[in-house]
């Protein structure tokens, strides 16, 4: 029983301290993949501690019940009640997760259903399908799943050089290869499950959305060259007046150097 | 395209199906004709009328006809026009209750921009 309480206290401390610690300093901007790993390690450690507390409570209740049956111990009613309450809580948590995940999935499907009628060309590139569509917006979107897709707007294709376009595709392909979609969905679900007054939920969601973009930038910069990707970001940033894109370009130039030669684009991205 | 869960439609699926039926027809059609053109589990006529009324209030459907029993329905926009509009609204940004798409541009919030700016300034100070 003391072990179970210790696990719960450790989980609560982790939920409070991890966002505070991980958001300190600027290291996550320089090392986004490491930071993403640290955030999700904290999340899964917290979940494991809660699960361990649950299992510990149930085991303590069972052993006390066995001891009471054989006349070696009396009482244990409190532990049994706590075990049942824990199991009920676990059931409610599973129900909450499954109840909240469906609206998220529906929301995602709605967005994708809206996209498909305006596709102008679909090209099978092995690892993903490249879907071109007419739009005046500068859009490139990675759609993970069993049949992954990268959606590319006509405006983006017209506005960038072929090298820059390949760098953008390498960025989107990095999202698919490194399962960034799954990370975002887990962070969104975590934020929905926790009450709004608990900052850990929104902190993980925000950090994930930023870090997956920076991590994909780093992968694409390594493949297509930091200068090329920074050029693409800067060009779209100037056209859309989005300061975030200009800063992502500046980050690539500040934290990565083109002294290291790009390692070359993956085959599906070479167009 | 139509999301069905068992015999029940997913939320919003009947609206999407009815819009598809209207986009497929060049001429205005009655609620009964809409009902007959739907695939999958057939909804009641009153359900179809309720959904058509909801779509009318959203400005997606126009009603025409002389009397209440002869009222016919047509889509206000073509399928392509509507798809463009909804696509752009879908990609324009999501609230914290909606699933986020992995877009190349536009996913960063003002707070994220501040985090990036601070990190770059600190890096410049360290180098300088």
Q: Does some domain include residue B49?
A: yes
Instruction: Count how many domains chain B has.
Output: 1
Asked if B122 has any chain A CB less than 8 Å from its own CB, the reply is yes
Q: pLDDT tens digits for B46-104?
A: 888 888 887 887 778 888 876 667 788 888 876 656 655 554 444 444 445 556 778 88
**A215: Cβ–Cβ under 8 A, 6 or more apart, which residues?**
A32, A33, A36, A174, A178, A180
**CB-nearest partner of B87 from A108, A109, A115:** A115
Look at residue B119 and give its three-state secondary structure: helix
Exposure pattern of B82-96 as b/e (b: 16+ CB <10 Å)? bbbebbeebbeebee
Residue B44 has a pLDDT of 83
**A181 chain-B contacts, CB cut-off 8 A:** 102
In chain A, the percentage of residues whose pLDDT exceeds 70 is 86
CB contact (8 A) between residue B88 and residue A209: no
**CB-nearest partner of A245 from B1, B100, B105:** B105
A90 vs B90: CA distance, rounded Å: 35
Residue A73 φ/ψ region, left for φ over 0, alpha for ψ in the -120 to 50 degree band, beta for the rest: beta
CB contact (8 A) between residue A247 and residue B102: no
Chain B residue whose CA is closest to A23: B115
Higher pLDDT, A187 or B77: A187
Residue B8 bridge partners (DSSP) = B5
Higher pLDDT, A240 or B1: A240
Structural domain containing residue B33? 4-94
Q: Does some domain include residue B128?
A: no
State the CATH number of the domain containing residue B86: 1.10.10.10
pTM, entire model: 0.68
Q: How far apart are the first and last CA of chain A?
A: 61
**CB-nearest partner of A188 from B12, B100, B123:** B100
**A99 chain-B contacts, CB cut-off 8 A:** none
A230 vs B102: CA distance, rounded Å: 19
A7 vs B76: CA distance, rounded Å: 59
CB contact (8 A) between residue B112 and residue A254: no
Q: pLDDT tens digits for A67-76?
A: 766 666 555 6
A122: enclosing H helix or E strand: strand A119-124
Task: Find the range with the poorest average confidence among A34-43, A113-122, A141-150, A179-188.
Answer: A113-122
In chain B, the percentage of residues whose pLDDT exceeds 70 is 70
**B61: Cβ–Cβ under 8 A, 6 or more apart, which residues?**
B19, B22, B52, B55, B73, B74, B75, B76
Residue A140 bridge partners (DSSP) = A152
**B1 chain-A contacts, CB cut-off 8 A:** 113, 116
ipTM score assigned to the predicted complex: 0.75
Q: pLDDT tens digits for A76-110?
A: 676 777 777 777 777 777 776 666 667 767 767 66
Residue A114 has a pLDDT of 61
Q: pLDDT tens digits for A109-131?
A: 666 666 555 678 888 888 899 98
């Amino acid at each position: 029983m003391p072990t179970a309480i210790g696990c719960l206290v450790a989980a609560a401390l982790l939920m409070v301290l991890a966002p505070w610690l991980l958001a300190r300093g600027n290291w996550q901007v320089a090392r986004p993949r490491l930071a993403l790993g640290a955030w999700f390690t904290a999340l899964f450690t917290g979940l494991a501690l809660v699960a361990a507390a649950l299992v510990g409570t149930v085991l303590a209740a069972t052993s006390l019940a066995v001891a009471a049956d054989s006349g070696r111990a009396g009482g244990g009613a409190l532990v049994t009640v706590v075990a049942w309450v824990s199991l009920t809580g676990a059931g409610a948590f599973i129900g909450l997760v499954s109840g909240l995940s469906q609206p998220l999935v529906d929301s995602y499907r709605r967005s994708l259903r809206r996209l498909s009628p305006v596709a102008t060309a679909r090209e099978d590139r092995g690892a993903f399908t490249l879907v071109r569509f007419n739009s005046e917006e500068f859009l490139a979107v990675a759609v993970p799943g069993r049949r992954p897709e990268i959606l590319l707007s006509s405006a983006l294709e017209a506005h960038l050089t072929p090298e820059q376009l390949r760098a953008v595709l390498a960025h989107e392909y990095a999202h698919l290869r490194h399962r960034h979609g799954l990370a975002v969905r887990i962070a969104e679900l975590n934020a929905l499950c926790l009450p709004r007054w608990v900052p850990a939920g929104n902190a993980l969601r925000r950090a994930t959305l930023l870090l997956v973009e920076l991590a994909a930038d780093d992968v694409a910069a390594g493949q297509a060259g930091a200068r090329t990707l920074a050029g693409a970001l800067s060009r779209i940033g100037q056209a859309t007046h989005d300061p975030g894109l200009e800063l992502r370009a500046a980050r690539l130039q500040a934290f990565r150097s083109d002294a290291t030669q790009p390692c070359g684009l993956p085959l599906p991205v070479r167009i | 395209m139509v999301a069905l869960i068992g015999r029940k439609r997913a939320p919003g699926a009947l609206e999407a199906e009815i819009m598809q039926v209207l986009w497929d027809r060049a001429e205005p059609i009655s609620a009964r004709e809409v009902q007959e053109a739907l695939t999958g589990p057939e909804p009641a006529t009153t359900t179809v009328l309720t959904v058509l009324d909801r779509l009318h209030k959203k400005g997606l459907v126009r009603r025409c006809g002389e009397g209440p029993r002869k009222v016919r329905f047509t889509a206000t926009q073509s399928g392509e026009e509507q798809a463009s509009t909804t696509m752009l609204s879908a990609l324009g940004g999501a609230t914290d209750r909606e699933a986020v798409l992995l877009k190349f541009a536009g996913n960063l919030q003002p707070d994220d921009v501040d985090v990036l700016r601070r990190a770059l300034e600190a890096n410049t100070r360290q180098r300088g």
